[in-house]
Amino acid sequence: MNNVLRNRLVTVVTILLSILFIWFGNKIAVQGMTVFDGKNYTAVEKAKVVEITDRLKEEHPLTETETLVIEEIIFTAEGVGSDNKGVSYKADQNLNTYSVIQLKPVEVGDTILLYNIPNEDYGTEWTLGEYVRTDSLMFLGAIFMILLIVFGRKQGIQTIISLIFTGLAIFIVFIPAILSGKNIYYWAILTSIFIILMTFLIISGANKKSFVAGIGCFGGILLAGGLTKIMDMSLNLTGMVDEDSAYLLLLNKNHPIDLKAIIFAAIIIGALGAIMDVAMSIASSLHEVQGQSKKITFNQLVKSGLTIGRDIMGTMSNTLILAYIGSSLGVVLLLISYNTSLLDVMNRELVVVEILQALVGSIGILFTIPFTAVIAGWLFQHKEEDKPEA
């Protein structure tokens, strides 16, 4: 069997096994999940505004300088979903100067989400809930996939497949496992292992390069996980990072979610992409170096791997640190603005966890570099080394 057929077979088998993992993983993950039992849901419909029928405005003086302005917009919308196409809805939107955050006034042509919340004062059964934003995101996602295919061709298609399975593993398997009270540590590691194996097998195939990159990833992830557990005890973390953490505890009062395990999972999965990138970059580079020399030694390969790694680690560590800073920038600005003590801000658990994520992820990357280089040196050094020359 030639390499092309073998790689295609590996890709097909990996896709089939990934489908089985997602299917059976979801079945196991949702067992015992009672989070949504007995919940009363508000009906949500997708619609398009076709007419503004009325605008009502009231002014209520609060003080000599402040006035509360309440505006009610009554409008008609037409369903555009697959199950409500053409259905007419009479709805309203409430705007007032008291609310700090509110949606922009609705206009004809806007695609919106309507919530089934009646308002007897205006005779409406529905109220404006949100603007539909997923359509624009799906359009941008489609452009991203097209660009992947244009620039990556076959590997672009493989990348899209791996991204789909990665998303399914997180949202169809891992998240339900957390909500059903499963061991978060175990499922975080299991999900990470699946993502590593699936990604490398689909993108690179079953070969030494994928094996080296995979082993390098496992080493980096294990170090990051162990370091997270050690720092968890040292930093006296509670997992109560913000108000969202309190809401997680209230989901299941009998079996509350382990918030410290959530931090562990966030660090592992957050660092996984960067660690995979570093491991594959080094494995691929050393594989190419090996191809240029039939007698390259273990020491030469390791030295080359470390040299390549030094160029990678600076930008990749910056990638992690900047990503975490960017994700929490608003909260950090708020803490600094309302707190005159920098010492207090730096010791807040929210800030500490973000710093911990960046540092542990970066250390995982640093460890991945020499570990991958050593494994690559050991496996790649034997290419035609012992064969007599023709």
DSSP H or E segment with residue 388: none
Enumerate the β-bridge partners of residue 27.
none
Nearest to 215 by CA among 363, 14, 367, 360: 367
Report how far residue 188's alpha carbon sits from residue 14's, in angstroms, rounded to the nearest whole number.
20
Report how far residue 290's alpha carbon sits from residue 292's, in angstroms, rounded to the nearest whole number.
5
The pLDDT assigned to 382 comes to: 57
The pLDDT assigned to 47 comes to: 94
Nearest to 241 by CA among 266, 208, 269, 206: 266
- Buried b vs exposed e over 113-122: b needs ≥16 C-beta within 10 Å? bbeeeebeeb
pLDDT confidence bin for 39, thresholds 50/70/90: low
Mean pLDDT of the chain: 85
* Residues found in the chain: 390
With beta carbons less than 8 A apart as the criterion, state whether 216 and 279 touch. yes
Instruction: Tell me the per-residue pLDDT of 259-281, one tens digit each, with 9 for 90 and over.
Output: 889 989 988 998 898 899 899 99
Among residues of the chain, what percentage have pLDDT more than 90?
A: 39
With beta carbons less than 8 A apart as the criterion, state whether 134 and 128 touch. no
Q: Which residue has the tokens 């089939």?
A: 16
Task: Determine which of 22-26, 115-119, 201-205, 383-387 has the lowest per-residue pLDDT on average.
Answer: 383-387
Higher pLDDT, 208 or 243: 208
With beta carbons less than 8 A apart as the criterion, state whether 313 and 344 touch. no
The pLDDT assigned to 141 comes to: 92
The pLDDT assigned to 388 comes to: 43
Task: State both tokens at 89.
Answer: 């809805």
Task: State both tokens at 134.
Answer: 């997923």
Checking if the pLDDT of 21 tops 50, the result is yes
Number of other CB atoms surrounding residue 344 within 10 Å: 11
Report how far residue 111's alpha carbon sits from residue 132's, in angstroms, rounded to the nearest whole number.
6
| 335 contacts: CB under 8 Å, gap ≥ 6 | 345, 348, 350, 351
Task: State both tokens at 19.
Answer: 């489908």
With beta carbons less than 8 A apart as the criterion, state whether 297 and 286 touch. no
Task: Determine which of 203-207, 245-249, 303-307 has the lowest per-residue pLDDT on average.
Answer: 245-249
Instruction: Tell me the per-residue pLDDT of 140-196, one tens digit each, with 9 for 90 and over.
Output: 999 999 999 999 888 889 999 999 999 999 999 999 999 888 899 999 999 999 999
Task: Determine which of 14-28, 32-46, 219-233, 273-287 has the lowest per-residue pLDDT on average.
Answer: 32-46
Checking if the pLDDT of 316 tops 50, the result is yes
Higher pLDDT, 381 or 127: 127
Task: State both tokens at 254.
Answer: 């009998």
Classify residue 97 as exposed, middle or buried by CB count within 10 Å of its CB (0-12, 13-18, 19+). Answer: middle
